Amino acid sequence: MKHVLAALVENKPGVLSRIINLFSRRGFNIESAAVGETEDPRISRLTVVVAGDDKVLEQVTKQLNKLIDVIKVSDLSSDGMVGRGLALVKVSVDRETMGQIIEISDIFRTKIIDVSPKSLIIEVTGTDEKIMAFIDLMRRFGIKEMAQTGLIALARGAKATTIKKEG
Amino acid sequence: MKKIGTAIILESLMEEGVEVVFGIPGGVLIPLYDEFYDSEIRHILMRHEQAAAHAADGYARASGRVGVCIATSGPGATNLVTGLATAYMDSIPVLALTGQVPTTLIGNDAFQEANITGITFSVTKHNYLVTDVKELQNTLREAFYIASTGRPGPVLVDLPKDVQTAETDYKKDIKINLPGYKPTYGGHPKQIKRAADLIISAERPVIIAGGGTIISGADEELRELAELVMIPVTTTLMGKGAFPEDHPLSLGMLGMHGTRYANYSVMNSDLVIAVGVRFSDRVTGKIESFAADAKIIHIDIDPAEIGKNVRVDLPIVGDAKNILSSIINTIKIQIKKEKTKDWLVKVKRWREEYPLSFEESGETVKPQYIIKELYEATKGEAIIVTEVGQNQMWAAQYYLCNRPRRFISSGGLGTMGYGLPAAIGAKVAKPDEMVFDISGDGSFQMNCQELATAVQNDIPVKVAILNNGYLGMVRQWQELFYNRRYSGTKLGYLPDLVKFAEAYGAFGTRVTRKSEVRSAIEEAIETDKPAIIDFRIEEEENVFPMVPAGAPLDEIIGGN
| Residue B416 near residue B474 (C-beta atoms within 8 A) | no
pLDDT at A165: 57
Closest CA to B372 of B193, B487, B535: B535
My answer on whether A74 and A100 are in the same domain is no
- Respond yes or no: is residue B529 known to be catalytic: no
Catalytic annotation, pick one of B14, B40, B111, B220: B111
Tell me, what's the pLDDT at B173? 77
On whether residue A114 sits in a domain, the answer given is yes
Beta strand pairing call for A81-92 and A119-126:
antiparallel
Contact with chain B for residue A67, Cβ under 8 A:
yes
Could you give the count of Cα atoms lying within 13 Å of B58 in the half-sphere of its Cβ? Answer: 33
User: Measured between alpha carbons, how far is B378 from A68 in angstroms, rounded to an integer?
Assistant: 43
The answer to whether residue B26 scores a pLDDT higher than 60 is yes
Q: Is residue A158, in this structure, part of any structural domain at all?
A: no
Of A19, A43, A78, the one marking the end of a domain is A78
Rounded distance between C-alpha atoms, residue B144 and residue B140, angstroms: 6
Strand, coil or helix: B307: coil
How much is the pLDDT for B346? 98
CA dihedral B153, B394, B485, B482 (to 10 degrees): -70
The range of the structural domain enclosing residue A121 comes to 82-152
DSSP state of B38: T
Q: In terms of domains, do A56 and A103 share one?
A: no
**% of chain B surpassing 90 pLDDT:** 96
Amino acid letter, residue A8: L
Distance CA B403, CA B416 (A): 25
In angstroms, rounded to a whole number, what is the distance separating the alpha carbons of residues B327 and B193? 7
Closest CA to B436 of B381, B389, B481, B513: B381
Residues A101 and A64 in one domain: no
**Which stretches does DSSP call E strand in A11-56?**
30-37, 43-51
Which chain B residues are within 8 Å of A19, Cβ to Cβ? none
Q: Which residues fall within 8 angstroms of residue B440, CB to CB, at 6 or more apart? A: B387, B389, B390, B391, B416, B465, B466, B467, B468, B471, B472
Q: Would residue A45 count as lying in a domain?
A: yes
Which chain A residue has its CA at the smallest distance from B311's CA? A55
User: Looking at chain A, which residue has its C-alpha nearest residue B130?
Assistant: A13
Chain B residues in contact with A72 (beta carbon < 8 A): 180
Bridge-partner residues for B22, per DSSP?
B44, B69
How many domains are contained in chain A?
A: 2
| Residue A165 within a domain | no
Give CA–CA dist B108/B479, Å, rounded.
Answer: 51
Q: How far apart are CA A126 and CA A82, in angstroms?
A: 10
**Residue A118 sits in the same domain as residue A67:** no
The DSSP call for residue B362 is T
| Chain B residues inside the 8 Å CB shell of A20 | none
**Residue B311: helix, strand or coil by DSSP?**
coil
Active-site annotation holds for B224: no
Closest partner CB to B122 (pick from A21, A58, A71): A21
Report the pLDDT value the prediction gives residue A162, as an integer from 0 to 100: 85
What contacts A48, CB < 8 A, 6 or more positions away? A4, A5, A7, A30, A32, A33, A34, A60, A150
Residue A167 included in any domain? no
CATH code for the domain in which residue A30 is found: 3.30.70.260
- Shared-domain flag, residues A101 and A114: yes
Q: Is residue A6 part of a domain?
A: yes
Do A9 and A74 lie in one domain? The reply is: yes
- Residue B175 in this model has a pLDDT that exceeds 90: no
d(CA A49, CA B218): 40
Contact (CB, 8 A) for B68 and B148: no
Return the residue of B nearest to A59 by Cα.
Answer: B304
Question: Do the chains contact at A65 and B146, CB–CB below 8 Å?
Answer: no
Rounded average pLDDT over B255-279: 98
* DSSP codes of every residue in B365-402: --HHHHHHHHHHHTTT-SEEEE-SSHHHHHHHHHS---
Q: Which of residues 71-130 of A touch B (CB under 8 A)?
A: 71-72
User: Do the domain assignments include residue A166?
Assistant: no
Q: What does the pLDDT profile of chain A (167 residues) look like in tens digits? A: 889 999 999 999 889 999 999 999 888 888 999 999 999 999 999 999 998 888 889 999 999 999 999 999 999 987 789 999 999 999 999 999 999 999 999 999 999 999 999 999 999 999 999 999 999 999 999 999 999 999 999 999 888 888 875 53
Considering the domain architecture, whether residues A74 and A90 belong to the same structural domain is answered as: no
pLDDT for the residue numbered A167: 39
d(CA B423, CA B419): 6
DSSP lists the bridge partners of residue B135 as none
Q: Measure the CA–CA gap between A135 and A105, rounded to whole angstroms.
A: 11
- Give B530's DSSP letter: -
- Tell me the ipTM for this assembly: 0.88
Catalytic residue check, B1: no
Question: Taking a C-beta distance cutoff of 8 angstroms, is the pair B112, B73 a contact?
Answer: yes
Q: Which of A78, A106, A138 is the last residue of a domain?
A: A78
- Average pLDDT of chain B, as a whole number: 97
Minimal-distance CA residue of chain A relative to B150: A66
CA distance B379 to B387: 21
Tell whether A68 and A105 lie within a shared domain.
Answer: no
Output B342-349 pairs: Cβ under 8 A, ≥24 positions apart.
Answer: B342/B203, B343/B203, B343/B204, B343/B205, B343/B232, B344/B230, B344/B232, B346/B204, B346/B268, B347/B232, B347/B251, B347/B261, B347/B265
The pLDDT of residue B361 is 87
Residue B161 catalytic? yes
CA distance to A34, A80, B17, B437, per residue, from B10 (Å): 41, 53, 11, 31
Is residue B357 over pLDDT 60? yes
Q: Is B181 in contact with A68 (Cβ distance < 8 A)?
A: yes
Using a 10 angstrom Cβ sphere, with 0-12 exposed, 13-18 middle and 19 or more buried, the burial of residue A108 is: middle
pLDDT single digits (tens) B358-393: 999 899 999 999 999 999 999 999 999 999 999 999
CA–CA separation, B109 and A159 (whole Å): 48
- Residue B318: predicted pLDDT: 98
Chain A: nearest CA to B408, how far in angstroms? 26
Secondary structure tally for chain A: helices H, strands E: 4, 9
Whether the bond into B530 is cis, omega within 30 of 0: no
The 3-state secondary structure of B203-214, one letter per residue: CCEEEEECHHHH
Q: What is the CATH number of the domain that holds A122?
A: 3.30.70.1150
- Give the pLDDT confidence of B460-518 residue by residue, as tens digits: 999 999 999 999 999 999 999 999 999 999 998 999 999 999 999 999 999 999 999 99
Q: What residues contact residue A106 under an 8 Å CB cut-off, 6+ apart?
A: none
pLDDT higher than threshold 80 for residue B222: yes
Burial call A135-153: b when 16+ CB within 10 Å, e when fewer:
bebbeebeeeebebbbbbb
Q: Catalogue all structural domains in chain B, each as residue range(s) with its CATH number.
A: 2-169 (3.40.50.970), 189-353 (3.40.50.1220), 367-536 (3.40.50.970)
Decide if A115 contacts A157 (C-beta within 8 A): no
Residue type, B461: V
Asked if A74 and A86 sit in the same domain, the reply is: no
Same structural domain for residues A89 and A74? Answer: no
Give percent helix, percent strand, percent coil of chain A, each to the nearest 5. Answer: 30, 40, 30
| C-alpha to C-alpha distances, B472 to B70, B278, B488, nearest whole angstrom | 33, 27, 11
CB contact under 8 A, B129 and A14: yes
Select which of B11, B16, B35, B49 is catalytic: B49
Q: What is the mean pLDDT of residues B103-122?
A: 97
Q: Does A164 touch chain B (CB under 8 A)?
A: no
A87 and A54 part of one domain: no
CA distance B121 to chain A (A): 6
Closest approach of A69 to chain B, Cα-based (Å): 6
Same domain, A6 and A59: yes
Nearest to B121 by CA among A18, A63, A28, A14: A18
Domain boundary among A56, A78, A100: A78
Contact criterion met (CB below 8 Å) for A161 and A74: yes
